[in-house]
Amino acid sequence: MRYIYTLVIILLASLCAVAQPKHEVRAVWLTTIGGIDWPHSYAQSARSIERQKDELRHILDQLQQVGINTVLLQTRVRGTMIYPSDYEPWDGCLSGFPGKNPGYDALKFAIDECHKRGMELHAWMVTIPLGKWDALGCRQLRKKMPRNIIKIKADGYLNPESQQTADYLAGLCAEVTKRYDIDGIHLDYIRYPEDMPKLKTLDRQCGRNNITRIVSAISRRVKSLKPWVKMSCSPIGKYDNTTRYWSHGWNANTTVCQDAVAWLRDGLMDELFPMMYFRDNHFFPFALDWKEQSHGRIVVPGLGIYFMSPRERDWPLSDITRELEVLRHIGLGHAYFRSKFFTDDTKGIYTYAKNNFCRYPSLVPPMTWASRHKPEMPYGLSLSNVANNVAQLSWHHAEKDTTMMMFNIYASKKYPVDTEDARNLVAIRRQGRQLLVPNDGCTYYAVTATDRYGNESRALQEDAPYGEAETQCGSTRLLRCDGKKVEVPNKAHIADTEYLLVESLQGIAVATLPYNGSAETINISTLKNGMYQMRSLNRKGMSHRLGMFIIKR
């Protein structure tokens, strides 16, 4: 029965394959501990610093080419940092020597490079573990807070039950948030250590309260500084037992006291990246469980692509591609663990993502629970030739701070450009206000503004030649208009239209007209001569472009 249940889910996903969505989190964990993802060389001179930077640039170029829009960069390693911190020493992954300055700020560099490519960067903070008992990070913290560090086997850990741990980690995350233009704080290992002897007899609700206290302290500090910075964590891949499936004794809520669903519900987390490094019935039912308990927030299951390595469990590629397809079908994003297994194209996963699954860019879903305010539309869109078949697309915006307002650029052979179609996205989260684009006389462009919450403005369309509408390289189809009435196309009936919206070519509303669902024309006698576009609006707030018309009396 369980095997049949899994097959049904997979079959539904394949039969009901959804188009590549405009909004979808596509993430990777980029690990720095031991340089296993990056860096692969040490920064010990000006030349080697540049080589180390080039390594990261190359990785990010690869990730951009396949549509990755979120990078979870390991920032706190094991009581050590990849930036100059007032709290903890440098990790040795950068310079080759723990505690030694590599000669540049790796976190700032990574943020700048991600933002150049339209990617979010989330600072991945390993929270409770401190590494080996006598390693630099743990040794220094034992001096600072000797009663707050516990030893389990050969490693040190912050005490998950103390207020001192909550305050300390909140201070660390606040430092990163204050100093850097990060897009998120990502908490790893925010749970009880599984080898902690006390865990066997611990009252589970008391344990959940202890971990939640830490999460709450961090979240409140971060949000008080920059409310748009996403709070996320990577809980154990199964939240708990479901009504039909047993978690086999390893889950977030009961085993290690991570009440991640409550963190979403109570606004302490914006996003979860559950570590779903499983297959078949250990994966699909629990992915659905996360979806059903997401409370309208973002859930991005992590996929254990490292298990495809022959040195690990030698999973076939099909195990991962089925998971990707099901996640998209149920409206969840995906994250790869780890970056190197992805960019190394293990079993062809990178090729599959690039050529099949993520052929077009995708935007991170907006944080509508934090803000629904749409930014102002850009203005002054212009296209100027700079070389053969190359032009510079330029625009302006009222917001002058380039870190607070970004832009998405769309292109299409049809006019006006449909900005709801992911296939038309050509650049995302661009901080600059110009872009070199092809100029073939057959492509049209549109630009939207997007704020730090991910809310997108209305589209500023490129001006079209007078009389050109519904265009595909010169093919024109205008809605019939006699100067008093304009036709309503049949697709208005299909769209369950309640209102018809008349807009200028720049997307500015001119008229809102009630629609009874059957009229073949509407009265536009009060409108001035000019060119307009018509849109439908239904009871659910969904809007569709119906066509364009000219009033010429």
pLDDT at 494: 58
Joined tokens for residue 266: 């109570």
Which stretches does DSSP call E strand in 257-376? 271-272, 275-276, 298-299, 302-303, 334-336
Cα distance between residue 434 and residue 402, in whole Å: 12
Strands 390-396 and 271-272: unpaired
Cβ distance 251 to 278 under 8 Å? Answer: no
Confidence band, pLDDT 50/70/90 cuts, at residue 17: very low
Name the residue with higher pLDDT: 11 or 95: 95
pLDDT of residue 83: 98
Q: What is the DSSP string of 291-322?
A: HHT-TTSEE--EE-GGGGSTTTT---HHHHHH
- Domain 475-551 is of which CATH architecture? Sandwich (2.60)
Supply the pLDDT for residue 489. 82
Q: What is the pLDDT of residues 195-204, one digit of tens each?
A: 999 999 999 9
Least confident of 109-113, 147-151, 450-454, 476-480: 476-480
Q: How many helices (H) and strands (E) does the chain have?
A: 13, 28
Give the pLDDT confidence of 468-495 residue by residue, as tens digits. Answer: 444 444 444 678 899 899 988 877 765 6
Mean pLDDT of 427-447: 91
Q: pLDDT value at position 8?
A: 45
Residue-level pLDDT at 133: 98
184, containing H or E segment: strand 184-188
Nearest 5°: CA angle at 174, between 170 and 180?
Answer: 150
For 402-439, give the DSSP string. Answer: TTTEEEEEEEESEES--TT-GGGEEEEEE-SSEEEEE-
pLDDT value at residue 289: 98
Give the pLDDT score at 544. Answer: 77
The average pLDDT across 415-431 equals 95
Spatial neighbors of 432 by CB under 8 A, at least 6 apart, are 402
CA distance 454 to 443: 26
Radius of gyration of the chain (CA): 26
At the top level of CATH, the class of 379-461 is: mainly beta
Q: Is the separation of the CB atoms in 329 and 18 below 8 Å?
A: yes
In this prediction, residue 36 has a pLDDT band, given cuts at 50, 70 and 90, of very high
Residue 344 is inside which H or E element, if any? none
Does 11 score more than 70 pLDDT?
no
Mean pLDDT, the chain, rounded, equals 92
What is the residue type of 232? S
d(CA 526, CA 227): 45
Q: Is residue 238 helix, strand or coil?
A: coil
| 21-35 tens-digit pLDDT | 999 999 999 999 999
Helix (H, G, I), strand (E, B) or coil at 387: strand
Nearest to 108 by CA among 137, 84, 144, 87: 84
Sequence-distant (6+) residues with CB within 8 A of 104 are: 43, 49, 53
Evaluate if residue 10 carries a pLDDT over 80: no
Band (pLDDT 50/70/90 cuts) for residue 2 is very low
Q: List CB contacts of 541: < 8 A, sequence separation 6 or more.
A: none
Judged against a pLDDT cut of 80, whether residue 253 lies above it is answered with yes
Domain with CATH 2.60.40.10 in the chain: 379-461
Closest by CA to 266, choosing from 286, 302, 240, 296, is 296
Model pLDDT, residue 515 = 87
What tens digit of pLDDT does each residue of 258-314 get? 999 999 999 999 999 999 999 999 999 999 999 999 999 999 999 999 999 999 999
Q: Cis omega before residue 416 (within 30°)? A: yes
Sheet of 120-126: strand order equals 275-276, 302-303, 334-336, 26-30, 70-76, 120-126, 184-188, 230-233, 271-272, 298-299
Map residue 230 onto helix, strand or coil: strand
d(CA 192, CA 234): 13
User: Which of 134, 344, 135, 366 has the alpha carbon at shortest distance from 230?
Assistant: 366
Compute the distance between CA of residue 399 and CA of residue 377 in angstroms, rounded to an integer: 10
Range of 16-30, 31-45, 388-402 with top mean pLDDT: 31-45
Neighbours of 243 (CB within 10 A): 6
Question: Above 90 in pLDDT, residue 411?
Answer: yes
Cα separation values, 351 from 316, 348, 355, 360, Å: 14, 5, 6, 14
Helix 317-329 crosses helix 2-15 at what angle (to 10 degrees)?
Answer: 70
- Where in the chain is CATH 3.20.20.80? 2-357
For 179, phi and psi rounded to 5 degrees?
Answer: -80, -25
Given a cut of 80, whether residue 149 has pLDDT beyond it is yes
Instruction: Look at strands 149-152 and 155-158 and give their pairing.
Output: antiparallel
Pick the CATH number of 2-357 from 3.40.1120.10, 3.40.50.150, 3.20.20.80, 1.10.150.120: 3.20.20.80
